[in-house]
Structure 1
Amino acid sequence: MSEASKTPPRLILASSSPYRRELLARLHIPFDVVSPDIDETPHAGETPEATAVRLSIAKARAAAERLDCHASALVIGSDQVATFDGKQIGKPGTHENAVAQLRAMRGRCVEFHSALCLFDSRTGDVQSADIVTRVRFRRYSDAQIETYLRAETPYDCAGSAKAEGLGIALIEAIDSNDPTALIGLPLIALTGMLVNAGYPVLEAA
């Protein structure tokens, strides 16, 4: 086997999220970032799981299309959808929306669907998964909501829940089989997908 054939494919993270970049860096493997440009609006009647998985695949494919047509790459797409009382909860965007979200969720359980896709540009193969995290929030006060929002400004986080920061103080319990899923990129599932695709994860560390 030639040295060229042993060279692993380029790894691309299809995301503009700094949280996902920080998570992927934990694996100590080289990667580039390509920001996908897609419409993230849920489809009518679409389940939270279906929305998250569809968007993760769409992000990976959109980023792959921006690469050189001869590029050999594995493209990682990820999307997170929160659901509460049967409704999808998006990123708040504003302080007022974040206050409303956190007031509604206190003392309640929220499900976060963290979908993941690994698209292989060499073969067109797609691996995808949806990792569910159930989060129970404490019965915090309005004053505590304001303190948290002033400290973290989590307006780009689904459900206003920045669990990797001060948001953890709002949480009573987390139930998930992947502790990184809630932050936005399920590394346990991703590592398995990379191994399935023949990418030398630990060997590249």
Structure 2
Amino acid sequence: MIILASASPRRKELLGTFVGSFDVMPADIDETPLALELPKEYVARVAKEKAFSIADKLNIDSNAIIIASDTSVVIDGEILGKPDDLDESKRMLRLLANRSHDVMTSLCICDSRLQRVVTDVVTTNVEFRNISDVEIELYWRTGEPIDKAGSYAIQGIGASFVKSMSGSYSAVVGLPLFETAKRLNEFGVQIFQENNDE
């Protein structure tokens, strides 16, 4: 059994590209960064805590593989979370406009008994074009930025802001597929077999 420790429809869709059957169990943890915590350490810790919180809820005899992930937009060392309102969205998008930033996405895969735990952090560099205040307000009205780190979705209308990208597109969306497939293979999950079993 495979469990995705996320409520994100984007991660569910991405995992579904090569895993035919899995359960979804959202992890409810405190995602507040710790004092002096570096962005890379932060995203790795959050994914691990998500996975461990699900493992903690499972029966001791469970034979599940748990997949957890976390995505942060980072600029000038600042972690940009999800905007609470239009003003915060404006601040974030103004920071990102006409500059490049890093999107850090962590992956944690473990067995339900925590006998085996593997983690990865994938960093993708994204460069934005200039964005006007009018565009930011119109973008906010679409509802797309509300639950997105950095206040944009690369798989949606927010793609119109992206001038260039170097790295993993799927990681920016929310789940690094190359690393996920590689790690699942290490746990004995063959993705081609998963799809053929449907």
Match 1:110 to one of 101, 105, 108: 101
Output one character per residue of 1:42-98: Cα deviation in whole Å (capped at 9) or x when no partner. Answer: 111111000000110110110111122211010001011221112111111222211
Match 1:195 to one of 173, 185, 190: 185
1:183 equivalent to 2:161? Answer no
Match 2:91 to one of 78, 95, 100: 100
1:88 equivalent to 2:79? Answer yes
Query: TM-score with structure 2 length normalisation?
Result: 0.94
* Paired AA for residue 133 in structure 1: T
1:186 Cα deviation from its structure 2 partner: 0.6
Moved over 3 A (4+): none
1:139 Cα deviation from its structure 2 partner: 0.6
Q: Does the 8 A contact of 1:152 with 1:166 survive in 2? A: no
1:155 matched residue in structure 2: 146
Match 1:53 to one of 30, 35, 44: 44
Identical aligned residues as a percent: 35
1:152 Cα deviation from its structure 2 partner: 3.9
Looking at structure 2, the residues matched to 147 and 131 of structure 1 have their Cα atoms a distance apart, in angstroms, of: 31
Looking at structure 2, the residues matched to 43 and 122 of structure 1 have their Cα atoms a distance apart, in angstroms, of: 27
Looking at structure 2, the residues matched to 152 and 188 of structure 1 have their Cα atoms a distance apart, in angstroms, of: 30
Output one character per residue of 1:127-149: Cα deviation in whole Å (capped at 9) or x when no partner. Answer: 10000011111112111112222
* Paired AA for residue 166 in structure 1: I
Match 2:6 to one of 8, 15, 18: 15
**Count of residue correspondences:** 195
Looking at structure 1, the residues matched to 85 and 62 of structure 2 have their Cα atoms a distance apart, in angstroms, of: 39
Q: Does the 8 A contact of 2:93 with 2:131 survive in 1? A: no
Looking at structure 1, the residues matched to 40 and 111 of structure 2 have their Cα atoms a distance apart, in angstroms, of: 22
Output one character per residue of 1:111-160: Cα deviation in whole Å (capped at 9) or x when no partner. Answer: 11100000112562111000001111111211111222222432111101
Q: CA RMSD in A?
A: 1.2
* Paired AA for residue 178 in structure 2: I
1:195 Cα deviation from its structure 2 partner: 0.3
1:168 matched residue in structure 2: 159
1:196 Cα deviation from its structure 2 partner: 0.7
1:140 matched residue in structure 2: 131
1:7 matched residue in structure 2: none
Indicate the larger mover: 46-55 or 24-33.
24-33
Gaps of 5+ in 1: 1-9
Q: Helix, strand or coil: the match of 1:29?
A: coil
Looking at structure 2, the residues matched to 43 and 58 of structure 1 have their Cα atoms a distance apart, in angstroms, of: 13
* Paired AA for residue 62 in structure 1: S
Q: Does the 8 A contact of 2:5 with 2:25 survive in 1? A: yes
